[in-house]
C-alpha cells in the first residue's frame, strides 16, 4: 500500500486536471460570482427557495470552499484521494439537486463532473478498496 500510485497515463492526468479546473472555477464562483446566476424568474420556484438560505446564510461559502480546496489538490496532484473523497460528497449533492429540483440543468456541468470524477477514480480504485471493509 505504500508503493506509488501508477498515474502515468495521459487519460488520468487529463481527467484529473480537468476535474480540478472545473471545481476551482465553480468553487471560486461561489465567492466571487463572476458567472452570475440566472434571474429568479428563470428558475423553478423550488430552486429559488433553495438558493435563498444558501446565499443569505453564506452556507454557499463552505460548499464553494470545499470545491476550491479539492480542485486545487487535484491540480497540484497532492492528496488526490482526499480530494476525490471530498468531491464524492459534493457530487452527490450536486447531482441530487439537479435531478430533483432542476433537471434541465443536469447537462453539461454536473454530468461532465461525474464522468471526470469516475475517470479519475478508476485508476485509483485499489486505493479505495480498504474503505469498503465490513469489519475493521
Residue that the C-alpha cell 453539461 belongs to: 108
Integer Cα distance of 115 and 19 in angstroms: 9
Integer Cα distance of 8 and 18 in angstroms: 16
pLDDT single digits (tens) 58-112: 999 999 999 999 999 999 999 999 999 999 999 999 999 999 999 999 999 999 9
Say yes or no to pLDDT of 52 above 80: yes
35: left (phi over 0), alpha (psi -120 to 50) or beta: beta
Instruction: Map residue 114 onto helix, strand or coil.
Output: helix
Please give the model's pTM, rounded to 2 decimal places. Answer: 0.92
| 101 grid coordinates | 429540483
What's the confidence (pLDDT) of residue 1? 53
Integer Cα distance of 14 and 30 in angstroms: 24
Amino acid at each position: 500500500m505504500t508503493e506509488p500510485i501508477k498515474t502515468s497515463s495521459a487519460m488520468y492526468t487529463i481527467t484529473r486536471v480537468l476535474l480540478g479546473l472545473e471545481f476551482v472555477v465553480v468553487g471560486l464562483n461561489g465567492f466571487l460570482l463572476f458567472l452570475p446566476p440566472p434571474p429568479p424568474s428563470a428558475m423553478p420556484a423550488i430552486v429559488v427557495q433553495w438558493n435563498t438560505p444558501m446565499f443569505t446564510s453564506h452556507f454557499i461559502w463552505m460548499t464553494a470552499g470545499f470545491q476550491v480546496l479539492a480542485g486545487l489538490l487535484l491540480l497540484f496532484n497532492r492528496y488526490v484521494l482526499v480530494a476525490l473523497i471530498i468531491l464524492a460528497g459534493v457530487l452527490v449533492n450536486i447531482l441530487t439537486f439537479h435531478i430533483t429540483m432542476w433537471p434541465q440543468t443536469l447537462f453539461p456541468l454536473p454530468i461532465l463532473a461525474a464522468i471526470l470524477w469516475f475517470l479519475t477514480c478508476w485508476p485509483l480504485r485499489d486505493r479505495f478498496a480498504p474503505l469498503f471493509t465490513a469489519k475493521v
